[in-house]
Amino acid sequence: MPNFQLGDTEQVAYAITVLDGDSNPATLAPGTTVTVVSSNTAALSVEPDTTPAAGSVASGLLVGGTKLATGVSVTATVTLPGVSAPFVAVDLIDVVGGTANSISIGLSAPVSQTAAAPPAPSQGAPTS
């Protein structure tokens, strides 16, 4: 499956849900920690909501950054108290360039002009 594509000037909402063995929403025990992190914060930042959206344990925005990148990992980790192995979910996001809205001209460093080749010397005048 291809990575999710997000423009560098775009954002997308996220919501983390936890399910029980029957795929129903689970209730988290007090002391449970939930984290959502980006592997490349210059390309993609995580802005969590203060209060998670209804039905989720964490929510917020993933915001495209100033650097383009392929395969940025967004990792959500839910750690239950007394459980040694946390639950982890990872999604890969490509941060791509947006629609063009300007142009630029790139110039190299200045260098000396190449001198024109001098005219070929004339063959002397015939002598008599």
Calculate mean pLDDT across residues 10-36.
Answer: 93
Mean pLDDT, the chain, as a whole number?
A: 91
Q: pTM value? A: 0.76
C-alpha angle 69-71-77 in degrees, rounded to nearest 5: 120
Please say if the pLDDT value at position 128 is more than 60: no
Please say if the pLDDT value at position 37 is more than 90: yes
* Per-residue pLDDT reduced to its tens digit, 94-114: 999 988 888 999 999 999 888
What's the rounded Cα separation, in Å, for the pair 59 and 116? 68
Torsion of CA 22, 25, 26, 27, to 10 degrees: -150
What's the rounded Cα separation, in Å, for the pair 48 and 58? 7
Residue ranges and CATH numbers for the domains of the chain are: 4-96 (2.60.40)
